[in-house]
């Protein structure tokens, strides 16, 4: 007769297997997760605007430009609690950034444009003389965001005299955002530019100024077939499908600012035939709201 294992012996083996292969690994995983979350909590860094400015002031080189980048992306006026402290600290750090990584200075200039605070206007005007092209462009963009009218003379000068198309383009866009019709002449001149982007954005800027000089170009920008003349190339020139769609959106948005029946047929065509659902919907909504 064979000896059968005792029930208690079988139970002991089962409990041993349970502890070895399930309970102990499970408990280790739980403790590991708790440790991870506690570590995350203890090392969590705040990212309020003032905290980010403090990081820029005292952090490592990498930390400074990363904090400046985050500030330029997350900043909105409602996130600034002590406006006076923030303004003074940002101005001071921007001045000191002349001797820092140019990325820090670029992102701080962009952050100024997000504040809606015209007190940064003169600081940004000075930045237009910076040796670094990207700092200058950031200053130009922020002056437009602030709608800083005192910068219009300088922006018009950049449009007429700069050798950098990127600077010209930023100045054209900013001039359109500011909307001072006294400077429409310089934009009309740019409608004859050999550079397509300069022509297109000058037309959009004029539309924002309620100037019909840009209407013929905006009408072209509402036609997807028009962009076939500007195919994307390996050297980065031309427009890819995403850029074409963005341009169509900008043109449709312009047709909502300046109501002209010249745009109606193109909007109807886009609303029925465009390959992009989003473009079709935006065109149809524009017709319903502005061209009935």
Q: Which tens digits make up the pLDDT trace of 188-206? A: 999 999 999 999 999 999 9
Q: Which of 198, 214, 230 is the last residue of a domain?
A: 214
Q: Which of 159, 183, 214 is the last residue of a domain?
A: 214
Structural domain harbouring 196: 147-214
Q: For all residues of the chain together, what is the average pLDDT?
A: 89
- What's the pLDDT band for 35 if we cut at 50, 70, 90? low
31-45, 69-83, 88-102, 214-228: least confident range: 31-45
Shared domain for 60 and 101, answered yes or no, is yes
The CATH number that applies at residue 88 is: 1.25.10.10
- In-domain check, residue 19: no
Residue 224 DSSP symbol? G
In sign, the C-alpha dihedral spanning 51, 137, 231, 191 is positive
Shared domain for 151 and 102, answered yes or no, is no
- In-domain check, residue 233: yes
- What's the pLDDT band for 9 if we cut at 50, 70, 90? low
113-122, 160-169, 232-241: least confident range: 232-241
Shared domain for 208 and 229, answered yes or no, is no
- What's the pLDDT band for 84 if we cut at 50, 70, 90? very high
Q: Find the helix packing angle between 241-257 and 196-208, rounded to 10°.
A: 30
Shared domain for 81 and 135, answered yes or no, is yes
Q: What whole-number distance in Å separates Cα of residue 164 and Cα of residue 158?
A: 9
Q: What pLDDT does residue 42 have?
A: 42
- What's the pLDDT band for 97 if we cut at 50, 70, 90? very high
Shared domain for 59 and 112, answered yes or no, is yes
- In-domain check, residue 14: no
- In-domain check, residue 99: yes
Check residues 178 and 41 and name the one with the higher pLDDT: 178
Shared domain for 75 and 49, answered yes or no, is yes
Question: Which residues, other chains included, contact 96 with Cβ-Cβ below 8 Å and sequence gap of 6+?
Answer: none
Q: Which of 196, 214, 232 is the last residue of a domain?
A: 214
Of the candidates 188, 189, 223, 193, the residue with the CA atom closest to the CA atom of residue 207: 188
What is the helix (H) or strand (E) element at residue 278, kind and residue range?
Answer: helix 277-290
Q: What whole-number distance in Å separates Cα of residue 218 and Cα of residue 202?
A: 10
Q: What pLDDT does residue 119 have?
A: 97
**CA 126 to centroid of chain Cα atoms:** 23
Shared domain for 192 and 174, answered yes or no, is yes
Query: Which parts of the chain are beta strand (E)?
Result: none
Of the candidates 159, 168, 120, 169, the residue with the CA atom closest to the CA atom of residue 143: 120
Q: What total number of domains does the chain contain?
A: 3
Shared domain for 153 and 140, answered yes or no, is no
Of the candidates 77, 76, 70, the residue with the CA atom closest to the CA atom of residue 55: 70
Q: What whole-number distance in Å separates Cα of residue 106 and Cα of residue 282?
A: 34
Tokens standing for residue 111: 């952050």
């Amino acid at each position: 007769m064979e000896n059968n294992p005792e029930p208690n012996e079988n139970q002991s083996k089962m409990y041993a297997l349970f502890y070895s292969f399930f309970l102990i690994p499970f408990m280790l995983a739980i403790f590991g997760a708790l440790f991870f979350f506690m570590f995350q909590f203890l090392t969590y860094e705040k990212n309020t605007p003032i905290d980010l400015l403090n990081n820029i002031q005292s952090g490592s080189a990498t930390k400074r430009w990363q904090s400046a980048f985050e500030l330029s992306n997350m900043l909105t006026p409602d996130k600034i609690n002590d406006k006076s402290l923030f303004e003074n600290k940002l101005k001071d750090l921007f001045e000191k950034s002349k001797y820092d990584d140019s990325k820090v200075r670029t992102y701080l200039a962009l952050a100024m444009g997000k504040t809606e605070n015209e007190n940064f206007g003169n600081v940004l005007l000075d930045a237009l003389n910076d040796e670094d092209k990207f700092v200058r462009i950031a200053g130009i963009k922020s002056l437009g965001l602030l709608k800083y009218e005192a910068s219009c003379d300088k922006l018009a000068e950049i449009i007429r005299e700069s050798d950098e198309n990127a600077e010209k383009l930023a100045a054209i866009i900013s001039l359109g955002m500011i909307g001072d019709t006294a400077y429409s002449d310089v934009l009309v001149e740019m409608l004859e530019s050999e550079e397509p982007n300069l022509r297109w954005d000058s037309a959009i800027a004029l539309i924002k100024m309620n100037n019909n000089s840009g209407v013929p170009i905006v009408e072209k920008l509402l036609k997807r077939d028009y962009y076939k003349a500007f195919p994307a190339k390996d050297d980065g020139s031309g427009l890819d499908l995403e850029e074409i769609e963005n341009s169509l959106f900008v043109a449709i948005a312009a047709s909502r600012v300046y109501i002209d029946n010249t745009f109606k047929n193109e909007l109807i065509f886009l609303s029925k035939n465009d390959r992009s659902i989003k473009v079709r919907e935006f065109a149809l909504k524009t017709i319903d709201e502005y061209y009935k």
